[in-house]
Structure 1
């Protein structure tokens, strides 16, 4: 199994771990299918009206979130590692096919561990380029926002 987590840098990492009441293949599916991502990715009442994915290492993605007024916030990134049902790594340092982004902020390292009885231990590490970026992301409500999204993910994955 390739689920070993990288060594964490506590100054640059924000970590969220949840035990989800859904099988890991369904949780992974909700992270890798655009129509499913649209249903849970943004903390409600925000939405995710547009999702573009090239699901391969080096492939780009754009997750567009929208606030209550419909103002859209596109977030471009690139997949670095994909291990079906186990691990998904992406970054905003590149926008696809190794094209650099204007300002890298973080790399997401997601792991999906079988926790038995149809449950998944879901861990999301947001590894930032600087300790200041990590502090800013924490101040923006990382744990609250990603926690809300994890609950929305669980709800969807449990019925897919």
Structure 2
């Protein structure tokens, strides 16, 4: 017998990365609209637009731009904010920021203190349907998010070196 938990786990994509920065700095980078463009998206992408209303029920919008000029607007709603520990938000890819009937996935981002100023960041993308999970994986979830986390590590190193 398949349980709801088993089914939900099979629709989740996960990636983790240990960052050489305290959780408070990593969390701030994720929640500061001025910092997000420094690392959000795969290598070569830019994020020229970020808007956040950082509170449960608050909305966010971002726009990633590929080197060829293709644009990828995303919007969502923050569901849970536990400072320096956890962010939960919906995420939808939408042309023109038109609200989606149902988000593409729900993101659960955790920030775990590893001691010695290091943080384990884990990003889960929880999808509603197997087809959505498969589409996200085929879009390059692990590669794209992995590159974004590499860019985040570089951004955090720059922040810490300028102090």
Q: With structure 2 as the length reference, what TM-score do the two structures score?
A: 0.86
CA distance in 2, matches of 1:63, 1:143: 20
Show the counterpart of 1:32: 31
Q: 1:23 to 1:101 in 2, by over 3 A?
A: same
What is the alpha-carbon distance in structure 2 between the residues aligned to residue 129 and residue 106 of structure 1?
7
The aligned counterpart of 1:91 is 90
Q: Is the 1:23–1:157 Cα contact (8 Å) retained in structure 2?
A: no
Instruction: Tell whether the 8 Å contact from 1:27 to 1:154 is kept in structure 2 after alignment.
Output: no
- 1:11-50 alignment runs, 5 A limit: 11-50=10-49
Deviation at 1:7, TM superposition (A): 8.4
**Higher gyration radius (CA):** 2
Q: Give the alignment of 1:117-136 within 5 angstroms.
A: 117-136=116-135
**Post-superposition offset of 1:72:** 2.1
Q: 2:55 is matched with which residue?
A: 56
Deviating more after overlay: 117-126 vs 71-80: 71-80
Quote the Cα distance in structure 1 between the aligned partners of 2:35 and 2:60. 15
Distance 1:26 1:47 in 2: 21
Does residue 72 (structure 1) correspond to residue 58 (structure 2)? The answer is no
Q: Runs of 5+ in structure 2 lacking a partner?
A: none
Aligned to 2:113: 114
1:51 counterpart SS class:
strand
Deviation at 1:47, TM superposition (A): 0.7
Q: CA deviation at 1:102?
A: 3.2
Cα-Cα RMSD:
2.1
TM-score by length of 1: 0.87
**Which of the pair is proportionally richer in helix?**
2
1:130-145 matches, cutoff 5 A: 130-145=129-144
